[in-house]
Chain A
Amino acid sequence: MPRRIVSAVQHIGHRVIESIWRLGYASRFFILVLLKSGTSLRRFGLVMRELYFTGVLSLIIIVVSGLFVGMVLGLQGYETLQKYGSESAVGTLVALSLVRELGPVVAALLFASRAGSAITAEIGLMKATEQLAAMGMMAVDPVARVVAPRFWAGVISMPFLAAIFSVMGVFGGYLVTVVFIGVDEGSFWSQMQSAVDFRFDILNGFIKSCFFGVAVTAIAVFEGYDAPPTAEGVSGATTRTVVTSSLVILGLDFILTAFMFRGVS
């Protein structure tokens, strides 16, 4: 029995060492990507192509989800607020929850599962089919040519996607409460406008989405580049991208929120 306990403890220790090692390895890779970003910035066409795949192709899911999230928020908010006779504050509720939290967070979660997994799978497959090795043999650095453009495209897309998500959400809330239920349009907007502050709400939401963009794409490109060059390896890496980035998004959100809104309001 004691041997079993020892081996269980050993197992835990092994896992901890492994994860710390991996974290360090990922950080080194992240810095490497940043150092080798010169090519993508000089040849912006490379980033443009990836912007299409990460940004434009994620639009549909972002727009539709944003609309529905906003509509649900509007409906639920109205149900609750009308009990206190303050249904005109529903605009404030929808806008604040979207701009501060739901916009950046849900958009980032969707982005991780839509674009992040695609990035991992693509880089992982390029590695498995020796395309990255072939590139290295042609004296072209795969990190500069393949990884960095995808990274920057993700970083650029994320804030835009989050903003589009929030706007669609506000529109969805407006649609349900003002157009369908009949809340007064003037007070919907004016209450929202007096409650939402540019610096504390919108700018902070924007900053959050920038952080999420960096985190999600960094995880996605690392998992792809690090994936074992087999079919199971790539599929495992894709799953890890989605799981890890979702956890990182939520954890990071808490940390950022604590920093941003501490002492304010």
Chain B
Amino acid sequence: MPPEVLIEVNDLSFSYDTRPILKGIDMSMRRGQVVAIMGGSGSGKTTLLRLISGAIQPTSGHVKFAGEVVHELNRDALFRLRRKMGMLFQFGALFTDLSVFDNVAFQMREHTNLPESMIRDLVLMKLHAVGLRGAHQLMPNALSGGMARRVALARSIALDPMLIMYDEPFTGLDPISLSVIGNLIRRLTDALGMTSIVVTHDVQESLKIVDYVYFIADGVIAAQGTPKEVRESVAPFVHQFVHGEEDGPVPFHYPAQTYQEDLKLEDTFA
């Protein structure tokens, strides 16, 4: 029997002013899964994360998280729900005025009444899980990009959430840090029995660690499947994306009037 479904996205649409960003997305994610959402820049991946976390309201359709429809919750209920979610921002978004230790302890201090000694143990455990127990006294500005993201990861698992969303976790990392983060995502998901949603355009790294992939293009799901299916896919869009080809269904040229008209060439020259 497959594990229970944690997130259900049903016919989700979102428009910014009148410009549609997402047009009828359907997804489902189970516990223990690492799911990748891929797509070109500006295809609405981050918007999808914001919809799942309830930061913005969908134009139509809904997101169900652990049986609750996210955008129908009031403020307090939404904040309660968010304690079950973690989010890793693109560059970590560590609180620059707090030390590494205080960053990880932040949520525990805000949301629980745990004694300081227990918070200390928990924080060191979380930091140990990302291999940075020794760095707990540093300030965020003393960390490298990869380390900052690992600390942010430790911070987002502070209250053992059911879901972690990663917004471009691989951007701007060297190959070593990149695979460290990738493996951490997989390991923590398995160890904590949570669900991970990875928004990325780093195809090769994410295909190594994920269970399922959704491709989003022009606001709809262009393709989906397991990493194996995706690698072997012959669908032109997936093929272009996975292999990083310059031209294909996603055109190299931004839509424009014809070249001739733009350069104001006379018909006689054409």
Contacts and interface: CB of A to CB of B under 8 A. Distances in A.
Does chain A bind chain B?
yes
Interface of A: 122, 125-126, 129-131, 133-141, 145
Given A130-B89, A130-B90, A130-B91, A137 B96 contact: no
Interface in B58-82: 79-80, 82
Interface residues of B, number: 22
Interface string B67-110: 00000000000011011011101110111110000000011001
A126 B83 contact: no
Contacts of B94: 131
Given A126-B95, A133-B89, 7 more contacts: A122-B97, A129-B93, A129-B96, A131-B93, A131-B94, A134-B95, A137-B85
Contacts of A134: 87, 89, 93, 95, 152
B53 interface: yes
Contact of B79 (A129, A130, A139): A139
10 contacts: A130-B89, A136-B55, A137-B55, A138-B82, A138-B86, A138-B106, A139-B82, A139-B83, A139-B107, A140-B107
Nearest to B158: A138
A134 B53 CA distance: 11
A130 B93 contact: yes
A137 B87 contact: yes
Nearest to A135: B95
A138 B110 contact: yes
Contacts of A130: 89-91, 93
Nearest to A130: B93
Nearest to B159: A138
Contacts of A137: 53, 55, 82, 85-87
A49 to B, nearest CB: 8
A131 B110 contact: no
A27 B168 CA distance: 36
A138 B83 CA distance: 6
B163 to A, nearest CB: 11
Contacts of B86: 137-138
B113 to A, nearest CB: 13
A246 to B, nearest CB: 27
B111 interface: yes
A131 B106 contact: no
Task: Name the residue among A130, A133, A137, A140 with the largest chain B CB count within 10 angstroms.
Answer: A137
A122 B83 CA distance: 26
Contacts of B87: 134, 137
B82 to A, nearest CB: 4
A137 B90 CA distance: 14
Given A139-B79, A139-B80, A133 B93 contact: yes
A172 B11 CA distance: 73
From B53, B107, B110, B111, residue with most partner A Cβ within 10 Å? B110
Nearest to B82: A139
B91 A129 contact: yes
A130 B168 CA distance: 13
Contacts of B55: 133, 136-137
Contact of B111 (A126, A139, A141): A139
Interface in B104-160: 106-107, 110-111, 152
Given A137-B53, A138-B107, A131 B82 contact: no
B79 A131 contact: no
B69 to A, nearest CB: 18
Give the 5 A-B CB pairs with smallest separation, nearest first: A130-B93, A134-B93, A139-B82, A139-B79, A137-B87
A195 B71 CA distance: 65
Contacts of B97: 122
A126 B96 CA distance: 8
Contacts of A125: 96
A135 to B, nearest CB: 8
Contacts of A126: 95-96
A3 B85 CA distance: 56
A133 B80 CA distance: 16
A139 B85 CA distance: 9
Contacts of A140: 106-107, 110-111
A126 B94 CA distance: 9
A134 B90 CA distance: 11
B245 to A, nearest CB: 32
Contacts of A122: 97
Contacts of B111: 139-140
A126 B152 CA distance: 15
Nearest to B84: A139
Contacts of A129: 91, 93, 96
Nearest to A39: B110
B142 to A, nearest CB: 16
